[in-house]
């Protein structure tokens, strides 16, 4: 089940951040601020299986541009469709907020993520050298959210 995150999810989302993003994980404080609604352009969603949070996504939308800031699923629940569901719901919320396109950055050394996004109509639009803390380049991807947004 995909649903909006609540304050009860802060600890679980922070743990997912650490498990999936390591040195690039957001702090529990920052996660809490976002889930609490103190960052007004940000939407937090969680994926829940049998009452346990096993994935999350974060989308920020301002005017006509949305950014997929985070998407992560625990290793035990990968390849189950949850990431696709999280992405679809994040796209829906971005469209509802007025965005016509979704941008994201992904590590160039993450072929699984690159395949995931390519299969979901994302295209490369830029590269950001040394974007991540360890010096890895980020590939900037874009997906239209409405017809005619090429």
- The tokens describing 134, both together, are 């360890």
Encoded tokens for 110: 């993450």
Q: 127 forms bridges with which residues in the sheet?
A: 139
- Contact (Cβ atoms closer than 8 angstroms) between residue 27 and residue 14: yes
Instruction: Compute the distance between CA of residue 96 and CA of residue 102 in angstroms, rounded to an integer.
Output: 12
Chain segment 43-70, per-residue pLDDT in tens: 999 999 999 999 999 999 998 999 999 9
Which two structure tokens, joined as six digits, stand for 52? 């346990």
Task: Give residue-wise pLDDT tens across range 82-136.
Answer: 999 999 999 999 999 999 999 999 999 999 999 999 999 999 999 999 988 889 9
User: What is this structure's pTM?
Assistant: 0.89
Q: Which of 81, 91, 89, 77 is nearest to 116 (CA)?
A: 81
Q: Please give the domain boundaries of the chain with CATH numbers for all domains.
A: 2-103 (3.40.630.30)
SS3 122: coil
Higher pLDDT, 24 or 64: 64
Can you say how many angstroms the Cα of residue 5 is from the centroid of all Cα atoms in its chain?
13
d(CA 26, CA 58): 11
């Amino acid at each position: 089940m995909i649903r909006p995150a609540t304050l009860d999810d802060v600890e679980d989302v922070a743990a997912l951040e650490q498990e999936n993003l390591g040195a690039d994980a957001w702090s529990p404080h920052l996660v809490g601020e976002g889930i609490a609604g103190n960052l007004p352009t940000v939407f937090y969603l969680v994926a829940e299986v049998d009452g346990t949070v096993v994935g999350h996504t974060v989308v920020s939308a301002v005017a006509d541009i949305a950014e997929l800031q985070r998407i992560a699923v625990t290793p035990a629940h990968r390849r189950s469709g949850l990431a696709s569901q999280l992405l679809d719901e994040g796209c829906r919320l971005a469209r509802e907020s007025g965005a016509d396109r979704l941008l994201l950055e992904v590590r160039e050394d993450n072929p699984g993520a690159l395949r995931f996004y390519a299969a979901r109509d994302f295209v490369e639009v830029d590269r950001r050298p040394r974007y991540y803390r360890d010096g890895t380049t980020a590939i900037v991807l874009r997906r239209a959210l409405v017809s005619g947004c090429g």
